[in-house]
Amino acid sequence: MENLTTLADWLAYCEQMHPKGINGIELGLERIRTVAQRMQLRFDCPVFTVAGTNGKGSTCAMLESILQQAGYRTGVFTSPHLVHFEERLRINGEAVSASNLVAAFADVERARTQFGPEVTLTYFEFTTLAILHEMTRSGLDVAVLEVGLGGRLDAVNLIDTDCAIITSIDLDHTELLGPDRESIGFEKAGIMRTGRPVIVSDPMPPQSVVDRAMEVGADLWRVGADFNTSGDKQQWGWAGRGRRYAGLAYPALRGANQLVNAAGVPDRRPAAAPAEEGTDLERRRARRAHPESLGRDDHPRRR
**pLDDT tens-digit map of 185-213:** 999 999 999 999 999 999 999 999 999 99
62 pLDDT more than 90 = yes
Whether 201 is in a domain gets the answer yes
Confidence class of residue 302 from pLDDT cuts 50, 70 and 90? very low
302 occurs within a structural domain: no
Query: Cα dist. 270→40, 150, 241, 243 in Å?
Result: 30, 25, 11, 9
At residue 255 the predicted structure's pLDDT band, cuts being 50, 70 and 90, is: confident
301 in a structural domain: no
CATH of the domain at 122: 3.40.1190.10
Answer whether 145's CB lies under 8 Å from 156's CB: yes
Domain around 246: 7-288
- Say what percent of the chain tops pLDDT 90: 73
Interatomic CA distance for residues 221 and 87, integer angstroms: 31
Assign 292 a pLDDT band (cuts: 50, 70, 90).
Answer: very low
Residue 90 has pLDDT above 90, yes or no: yes
Structure confidence at residue 140 (pLDDT): 97
Q: Give me the pLDDT at residue 294, please.
A: 34
Angle subtended at Cα 160 by Cα 159 and Cα 164, rounded to the nearest 5 degrees = 110
The per-residue pLDDT for 254 is 78
With 0-12 / 13-18 / 19 or more C-beta atoms within 10 angstroms meaning exposed / middle / buried, residue 126 is buried
Residues 21-47 have a mean pLDDT of: 87
Burial class (CB in 10 A: 0-12, 13-18, 19+), 23: exposed
Residues 181, 119: Cα–Cα separation, whole Å: 33
**Confidence band for 288, pLDDT divided at 50, 70 and 90:** low
CA distances from 79 to 82, 127, 171, 238 (A): 9, 11, 19, 29
Classify 2 in phi/psi space as left (phi over 0), alpha (psi -120 to 50) or beta.
alpha
In a domain, 62, yes or no: yes
Which has the closest alpha carbon to 65: 277, 268, 276, 269? 268
Domain count within the chain = 1
CB-side neighbour CA atoms (13 Å) of 48? 33
Radius of gyration of the chain (CA): 19
Q: Does 99 have pLDDT greater than 60? A: yes
Task: Give just the sign of the alpha carbon dihedral 116, 120, 123, 124.
Answer: negative
Percent of the chain with pLDDT over 70: 84
Instruction: State the pLDDT confidence band at 253, using cuts at 50, 70 and 90.
Output: confident
Residue that wins the pLDDT comparison between 91 and 260: 91
pLDDT band at 282 (very low <50, low <70, confident <90, very high): low
One DSSP character per residue, 205-270 reads --HHHHHHHHHHT-EEEEBTTTBEEEE-SS-EEEEETTEEEEEEPPPSS-STTHHHHHHTS--SS-
* Whole-structure pTM value: 0.87
Whether 26 contacts 123, CB under 8 Å: no
DSSP three-state, residue 31: helix
pLDDT tens per residue, range 231-240: 998 999 999 9
Is residue 297 packed enough to be buried (19+ CB in 10 Å), middle (13-18) or exposed (0-12)? exposed
Checking if the pLDDT of 284 tops 70, the result is no
- 16 band by pLDDT with thresholds 50, 70 and 90: confident
pLDDT of residue 19: 59
Residue 299 lies in a domain: no
Residue 94 in any domain: the answer is yes
pLDDT at 297 over 60: no
- Give the pLDDT of residue 298: 39
Tell whether 203 is covered by a domain. yes
pLDDT(303) > 60: no
Partnered with residue 236 across adjacent β-strands are: 231, 248
Determine the distance from the C-alpha atom of residue 37 to the mean position of all C-alpha atoms in its chain, rounded to a whole number.
Answer: 19
Residue 303, domain member (yes or no)? no
pLDDT digits (tens, 9 = 90+) for 132-185: 999 999 999 999 999 989 999 999 999 999 999 999 999 989 999 999 999 999
Q: Residue-wise over 48-77: b if at least 16 C-beta within 10 A, else e? A: bbbbbbbbbbbbbbbbbbbbbebebbbbbb
